[in-house]
Amino acid sequence: MPPFGWTSFTETWHDKPYPFISPSRPELSAAGKNVVVTGGGTGIGKATAIAFAQAGAASVAILGRRLDRLQTSASSITAAGPATRVLFETADTTKPASIAGALKSIVGQVGKIDIFVSNAGVLTSYGGVASYDVNELRRGFEVNVIGSLNAVQAFIPLAAPGATLFNISSSIAHLAPVAPVEDVFAYAVTKLASTRMFDFVAAENPELHVVNVQPGITDTEINANTDVKGVDEVELPGQFLVWLASSEARFLRGKLVWANWDAEELISRAEEIENSLLLRVVLNV
């Protein structure tokens, strides 16, 4: 069941992978696809890269600032999908030339990008509005908003026809400011800003399959120095993204979805979801 008294869009709530989103399902095959994941050296990014390798992607490329983490992650990805070509590039999404150069290098080796996961981000310090450090807020916008913008601008010219673009968002982007998330306004506003930015990316690029994803609460480095304890297995969002990239999930284009929601239940409501403002960040009046 959902933690913290949250409600779920689907009756079934998941905190671990389940057979319908398994990368081994033939319907979810990523064969022939080139996948790129920012922030792929650890946590959700690493788990996502592994899941796409398990789904048989032609190539999986991971980007990050720390070479040692990328090397370790690349070894794990190769072990999970020996037939997948694994690449890694050091890159800083806050620097346009850095992310653009990394993506051009990858495309030069494997071809255009079919699936791009914008995952790199930072959890800003906790604190209330009245006394918050403006430099810390600026850091949050630099990484979570400007960094995502740089990544998208570098990706779009290198995207394969009909490519997929995922933004790793957060529940904080749309939850009310109540316990246990009352002191995370800085993270909330940056993640909301990036989520809305990807809404516009979807509107401006109808040929792209763009989805915002709340990945769940996992034990990753981004949460290591907080009171937030992981309640979801990190493999859940990774495998959910594999399903989300498949033809079964095309009705979720332009939506914000939680990795915890049941994929089969979402499919059962596909027409309702696709033809309404459900799962969009809008004012409901």
pLDDT digits (tens, 9 = 90+) for 246-264: 999 999 999 999 999 999 9
- Would you state the pLDDT for residue 2? 81
Catalytic residue among 33, 46, 187, 255: 187
- Would you state the pLDDT for residue 221? 52
Catalytic residue among 33, 46, 191, 255: 191
Instruction: Report how far residue 99's alpha carbon sits from residue 59's, in angstroms, rounded to the nearest whole number.
Output: 18
Q: Look up the CATH number of the domain holding residue 56.
A: 3.40.50.720
Whether 147 contacts 94, CB under 8 Å: yes
- Would you state the pLDDT for residue 53? 99
**Does residue 207 lie within any of the structural domains?**
yes
- Would you state the pLDDT for residue 4? 74
Residue 187 falls in the annotated catalytic set: yes
The number of helix segments (H) and strand segments (E) in the chain equals: 9, 7
- Would you state the pLDDT for residue 229? 56
pLDDT digits (tens, 9 = 90+) for 193-235: 999 999 999 999 999 999 999 999 987 555 445 555 568 999 9
**Does residue 141 lie within any of the structural domains?**
yes
Tell me 158's DSSP state.
Answer: G
**Does residue 61 lie within any of the structural domains?**
yes
- Would you state the pLDDT for residue 219? 77
Whether 216 contacts 171, CB under 8 Å: no
Number of domains in the chain: 1
Instruction: Lay out the sheet containing 59-64: strands in order across.
Output: 85-90, 59-64, 34-38, 113-118, 159-168, 209-214, 256-258
- Would you state the pLDDT for residue 276? 96
**Does residue 42 lie within any of the structural domains?**
yes
**Does residue 283 lie within any of the structural domains?**
no
**Does residue 18 lie within any of the structural domains?**
yes
Q: Hey, what are 199's tokens?
A: 């809404």
Instruction: Report how far residue 280's alpha carbon sits from residue 174's, in angstroms, rounded to the nearest whole number.
Output: 10
Residue 191 falls in the annotated catalytic set: yes
Domain containing 86 equals 3-274
| pLDDT digit string (tens) for the chain, length 285 residues | 787 778 899 999 999 999 999 999 999 999 999 999 999 999 999 999 999 999 999 999 999 999 999 999 999 999 999 999 999 999 999 999 999 999 999 999 999 999 999 999 999 999 999 999 999 999 999 999 999 999 999 999 999 999 999 999 998 888 877 665 668 889 999 999 999 999 999 999 999 999 999 999 987 555 445 555 568 999 999 999 999 999 999 999 999 999 999 999 999 999 999 999 999 999 887
**Does residue 122 lie within any of the structural domains?**
yes
**Does residue 125 lie within any of the structural domains?**
yes
